[in-house]
Amino acid sequence: MRVAGRSVLHGINLSVAAGETVILFGPNGVGKSSLFSALMGFPGYEVVRGTIRFKGEDLLPLNTAERAQLGIGIAFQRPPSIKGVKLKALGERISTAREESDRVSYFANNLGLSAFLDRDINLGFSGGETKRSEVFQLLLQNPSLSLIDEPESGVDIENIGVVGVALKTLLQRGNHINDRQKSGIIITHTGLILNYLNADRGVMLIDGGLSCSGHAREIFELIQERGYRECQKCLKKN
């Protein structure tokens, strides 16, 4: 895949089953967020070769809104602010299709966002408020597959708890293993999110490709111990 004419990712082969949560690891700038952008079909993220299939459907001909309507949602790492568009109005817009209007106040209350409903989206929000607002919107959208980009970055400990618990609900991680339909891919650097929800597996994105699929916690501990350099050495050996 290419971003602004530059090749960023190659040979990515990843499948996520219904009910599965996958942690995406990798050093800064390797293209983790770009992978999410390509999955969402954002302009400028061009898939040169290969396909992206979701629920059996080819996503490449679809635009971002159509993909979202099919059931893919994203929590942005650094979302833009939009002047004059209120969080409540957007929340209701996201939720309207599902005909459950009180969900807006319910989730806002859960995430401590009631006072933000009449504010312009993300305008002057702190790091934690931004993340809570992202998760709030995801909960309203309730997608089959959630792409969650660094839910802990710029967030204090208290907010991580709120975000973590909400994501656990969203991804049905509290349900019995046979009773989960929601899938998720989570990008994390700090690994803190793993204290709130268990992932089925972790994958490492490095040098433009995927490697080292395995137990999420184990991979994270290895990264903490030896850093990403070890992964690069390992890649060379193989």
Partner 1 sequence: MFEKELTVSDRQKLASVGFDESEHERSSSFAMIDNLPKHPHKAPAGIDILTLEQAWEKEPELMDGLCWQLVDPEKDEFTREVKANSGSGYLVRVKRGSRSILPLQACFFMRSDLLRQRVHNIIVLEEGSSLSIINGCVSGEEVSEGLHIGVTEILVGENADLSYTMIHDWSEGMEVRPRTAIRVLKGGTFISNYISIKRSKITQSYPTCHLQGNGATAHFNSLIYAPKESLYDVGARVILDAPESKAEIISRTISAGGEIINRGELIGLKPGIKAHLECSGMVLGEGGTIRAIPILEAAHPDVEMSHEASVGKIAQEEISYLMARGIPEDQAVSLIVRGFLDTDIFGLPPYLRKEVDKTVALLENAF
DSSP tag of 62: S
**Least Cβ distance, residue 170 to partner 1 (angstroms):** 15
* CA 134 to mean position of chain CA atoms: 10
Contacts of 205 (CB under 8 A, 6+ apart): 9, 12, 24, 25, 26, 30, 31, 32, 35, 211
Number of residues counted as binding partner 1 (CB under 8 A): 25
Site for partner 1 (CB under 8 A): which residue of 22, 90, 162, 166?
90
Chain-centre distance for alpha carbon 143: 11
Amino acid at 203: V
Cβ neighbours around 194 below 10 Å, total: 18
Choices 23-31, 69-77, 106-114, 210-218; region in contact with partner 1 by CB under 8 A: 69-77
Per CB under 8 A, does 61 bind partner 1? no
Q: Which of residues 96-155 bind partner 1 (CB under 8 A)?
A: 97, 120, 137, 141
Site string for partner 1, 11-50 (x = CB under 8 A): -----------------------------x-xx-------
194 lines the binding site for partner 1 (CB under 8 A)? no
Cβ of residue 82: shortest distance to partner 1, in angstroms? 5
Which residue, 27 or 127, is less far from partner 1 as judged by CB?
A: 127
Token pair 């993300």 is found at 122
Helix runs in the chain, H state only: 32-40, 64-70, 87-96, 103-110, 127-141, 157-170, 216-237
Other Cβ atoms less than 10 A from the Cβ of 237: the count is 6
203 touches 213 (CB < 8 A): yes
Among 7, 57, 60, 63, binds partner 1 (CB under 8 A): 63
Given 94, 155, 167, 231, the residue binding partner 1 (CB under 8 A): 94
Report d(CA 24, CA 226) in Å as an integer. 18
Instruction: Choose which of 83, 229, 236, 237 interacts with partner 1 (CB under 8 A).
Output: 83
Q: Does 79 bind partner 1 (CB under 8 A)?
A: yes
Q: Which two tokens stand for residue 90?
A: 């957007």
Stretch that binds partner 1, among 5-13, 66-74, 162-170, 174-182 (CB under 8 A): 66-74
Options 9, 74, 155, 162; binder of partner 1; rule CB under 8 A: 74
